[in-house]
Amino acid sequence: MTHRLYYTDAYLRSFDATIVERAEDGRRLYLDRTAFYPTSGGQPNDVGTLGGVAVVDVVDEDERIAHVLAAPYAGPDGVHGEIDWARRFDFAQQHTGQHLLSGTFEELFDWPTVSVHFGDVVSTLEIDAPAASAKQLRRVEERANALIAENRPVVVTFEDAAAVAPRLRRPSARTGTLRIVTIEGHDTSACGGTHLRRTGEIGALLLRRVEKIRDHVRIEFTCGARAIRRARADYEALSDIAERMSASIDDVPMLVRSRIEEGKSLAAANRRFIEELSAHRARAQWESTPAGGDGVRRLRAADGMTADELRAWAAACALLPMTVAAGAVRETRTIALAVSADLDANAGALLKEALQQVGGRGGGSPRTAQGSVAEDAQLEPVLNAVLGGTHRVRAS
Ligand SMILES: [Zn+2]
């Protein structure tokens, strides 16, 4: 059984211990005692060194704790361990912050915490609530930060499960002696993790993204230096946007909303212009193009149209009498075909057939059709195929 030093002293950064077993050629060590925290309760393991060798993983095997090393250790049984303190302290900030936050959700809204996760960048907590409004979350954040400012003691005790049960925020399934973590006057939880001594050490608590997960709400939070780093990154991103808009950060949300609306109405106006322009172009072209022997005008789209322009031009051509019209956008190797309603021909079927000859794909309605080919050289043959041939006038 490994004696867990972090249970009673979460501030122990280095320790001496005796190896009781070596496995996997000295890459997996078991000690009589350890300050290394193993992955458990949603909190990732410590890293550091044992006998000068890097510890890359720490595994909780119930009775014992396994230390997984980056390289085999072949030294004496007496070893010195060093914890990566910056990482440990960072997770203790997130973890203690989570207790504080869970207690605050209960205190203000009776929302129980159902699960927690501590990540290297982001930590999350899931509460049993149908929804959480921005206003409610602001209240929770303010209360949590007020409790941080009060610098309340965080105390670890060992108590009998039955005796402590009425005081616990969340019932524990364990029996016997429980490790109890109490934020004075605020929260009492059974927990095996590493915590700070006082709430002041959390530094700051920032709530972030909120997501609805089934009938729960998942909330991202960051504490301590992470919260400051996150706030700095947010500020820099926002400053960049504000600078591009020659505005102050506070005006950015309103400005972005109005720019989006502007963009939508400009796009709608542009669509109308393209349609009108295309109708004029089609009509002018029709008037200056002599009809063939079969009375049909065959129109070829001018080069350099955009895909939107070509589509609009084809749609306009389809409305003209006794007309077959086709064109291509070279950059995208796309083709459009239009056939007027008084001709006994089907645009979709015509284009599909011509495209199949060169391995292209496409189709459409009897009046207009679109398709594409794989190579530039295939455009002309397809255009010639759909514009050539004779067409009968549809019997009315
Ligand atoms: Zn805890």
Per-residue pLDDT tens for 196-250? 999 999 999 999 999 999 889 999 999 999 999 999 999 999 999 999 999 999 9
89: left (phi over 0), alpha (psi -120 to 50) or beta: alpha
Ligand 1 centroid, distance to 376 Cα (angstroms): 65
Ligand 1 centroid, distance to 94 Cα (angstroms): 9
- Give the sheet arrangement for strand 154-160, strand by strand: 154-160, 177-183, 187-190
Residues with CB under 5 A from ligand 1 (ion): 191, 193
Ligand 1 centroid, distance to 122 Cα (angstroms): 17
Q: Quick check: 396 pLDDT over 60?
A: no
User: Distance (Å, rounded) from C-alpha 327 to C-alpha 282?
Assistant: 12
Ligand 1 centroid, distance to 191 Cα (angstroms): 5
Ligand 1 centroid, distance to 100 Cα (angstroms): 10
Level-2 CATH architecture, domain 270-387: Roll (3.10)
User: Distance (Å, rounded) from C-alpha 359 to C-alpha 383?
Assistant: 14
Ligand 1 centroid, distance to 3 Cα (angstroms): 19
Ligand 1 centroid, distance to 170 Cα (angstroms): 12
Ligand 1 centroid, distance to 263 Cα (angstroms): 49
Ligand 1 centroid, distance to 318 Cα (angstroms): 71
Ligand 1 centroid, distance to 115 Cα (angstroms): 12
pLDDT in tens, 323-344: 999 999 999 999 999 999 899 8
Residue with tokens 């999350």: 124
pLDDT in tens, 361-382: 898 999 999 999 999 999 999 9
Q: Quick check: 170 pLDDT over 90?
A: no
Q: How confident is the model at residue 390 (pLDDT cuts 50, 70, 90)?
A: low
H or E element, residue 255: helix 252-288
User: Distance (Å, rounded) from C-alpha 172 to C-alpha 192?
Assistant: 12
H or E element, residue 100: helix 85-109
- What is the total residue count of the chain? 396
CATH ID of 89-243, from 3.40.50.720, 3.30.420.40, 3.30.980.10, 3.40.50.300: 3.30.980.10
Share of the chain above pLDDT 90, in %: 84
Average pLDDT over residues 145-159: 97
Ligand 1 centroid, distance to 249 Cα (angstroms): 38
Q: Quick check: 393 pLDDT over 80?
A: no
User: Distance (Å, rounded) from C-alpha 243 to C-alpha 30?
Assistant: 57
Ligand 1 centroid, distance to 300 Cα (angstroms): 74
Closest of 116, 81, 86, 110 to residue 98, by C-alpha: 116
Ligand 1 centroid, distance to 35 Cα (angstroms): 16
Distances (CA, A) of 4 to 8, 13, 49, 160, 367: 8, 13, 17, 19, 79
The per-residue DSSP string of 110-156 comes to ---EEEEEE-SS-EEEEES-S---HHHHHHHHHHHHHHHHTT-BEEE
pLDDT in tens, 291-327: 988 889 999 999 899 999 999 999 999 999 999 999 9
Ligand 1 centroid, distance to 130 Cα (angstroms): 25
Closest of 81, 86, 85 to residue 69, by C-alpha: 81
pLDDT in tens, 65-88: 999 999 999 999 999 999 999 999
Closest of 120, 103, 122, 121 to residue 112, by C-alpha: 103
User: Distance (Å, rounded) from C-alpha 330 to C-alpha 326?
Assistant: 13
User: Distance (Å, rounded) from C-alpha 153 to C-alpha 196?
Assistant: 9
Ligand 1 centroid, distance to 184 Cα (angstroms): 14
Ligand 1 centroid, distance to 193 Cα (angstroms): 5
Cβ within 8 Å of residue 349, ≥6 positions away: 366
Evaluate whether 370 touches 311 at the Cβ level (below 8 Å): yes
Q: Which CATH class is domain 3-83?
A: mainly beta
User: Distance (Å, rounded) from C-alpha 289 to C-alpha 46?
Assistant: 81
Ligand 1 centroid, distance to 83 Cα (angstroms): 19
Query: Which pTM was predicted?
Result: 0.75
Q: Quick check: 395 pLDDT over 60?
A: no
> Does 236 or 24 have the greater pLDDT score?
236
Query: Which 3 state secondary structure label does DSSP give 46?
Result: coil
Per-residue pLDDT, 300: 94
Domain ranges of the chain: 3-83, 89-243, 270-387
Ligand 1 centroid, distance to 116 Cα (angstroms): 10
Query: Which 3 state secondary structure label does DSSP give 250?
Result: helix
One-letter amino acid at 323 equals T
Ligand 1 centroid, distance to 201 Cα (angstroms): 15
Ligand 1 centroid, distance to 195 Cα (angstroms): 6
Q: Is residue 391 classed exposed, middle or buried when 0-12, 13-18 and 19+ CB atoms within 10 A define those classes?
A: buried
